[in-house]
Amino acid sequence: MKPAQIEDFFATLQAANPNPQTELEFSSVFELLAAVLLSAQATDVGVNKATRKLFAIANTPQRILDLGLPGLEEHIKTIGLFRSKAKHLMETCRMLVDLHGGRVPADRASLEALPGVGRKTANVVLNVAFGQPTMAVDTHLFRLGNRTGLALGKTPLEVELKLLKRIPARYMVDAHHWLILHGRYVCQARKPLCWQCSVNQACGYKLKTPAPAG
């Protein structure tokens, strides 16, 4: 994808959705961190259903600790891998209380030192909570980067670094939201809806199936 196509690509996405937001529900930086940690290999819808009840009674690191591990597991048992996620969240809450005064740190090194928080989760928190121009490469961004020709790479990190280099700075803060939503609802993994795609003229992917009749 050439620079002019990249500009058209993001200008079009911006015009359609000027203020994109994560679909995870949260009302504080800690709730965001916890929701993203719980969302690995799970849907945002499923995480939201669990966290609505969890955050109603425990929405700070100390309150999560006060629940105890069995109590936390009971609240998130509908989420995949809930036992390991509960353990990681409890350990993260302990570190937040002991090392950061119960607050979520705003730097990558401190975030990635938290149990269960990898580069992608740190990128989401840095971007959504602190407005930093990061690129959280999930399966949608990895697919779109390669499929569209926007950022070819064999690993998420390779795609991330190319996206950071190629996307114009004025679009960077919102870019990963646009790409996630586009991948989730239009440029889907098995059957991309190319005939509904507003940015298909800039995309390097060649439609292999026609639009459905009717």
- Burial class from Cβ neighbours inside 10 Å (0-12, 13-18, 19+) for residue 27 reads exposed
The catalytic position among 120, 162, 165, 208 is 120
Burial 163-177 (b: 16+ CB within 10 A, else e): beeebeeebbebbbb
Using DSSP, state whether 108 is helix, strand or coil: helix
C-beta of residue 113 within 8 angstroms of C-beta of residue 123: no
Angle subtended by helix axes 119-128 and 172-185, to nearest 10: 120
Are the C-beta atoms of 173 and 133 separated by less than 8 Å? yes
Q: Please confirm, yes or no, whether 138 is among the known catalytic residues.
A: yes
- Of the candidates 94, 34, 86, the one whose C-alpha atom is nearest the C-alpha of residue 62 is 94
Residues counted in the chain? 214
Asked about 2 being catalytic, the answer comes back as no
In the set 2, 44, 98, 138, the catalytic residue is 138
- Catalogue the active-site residues: 120, 138
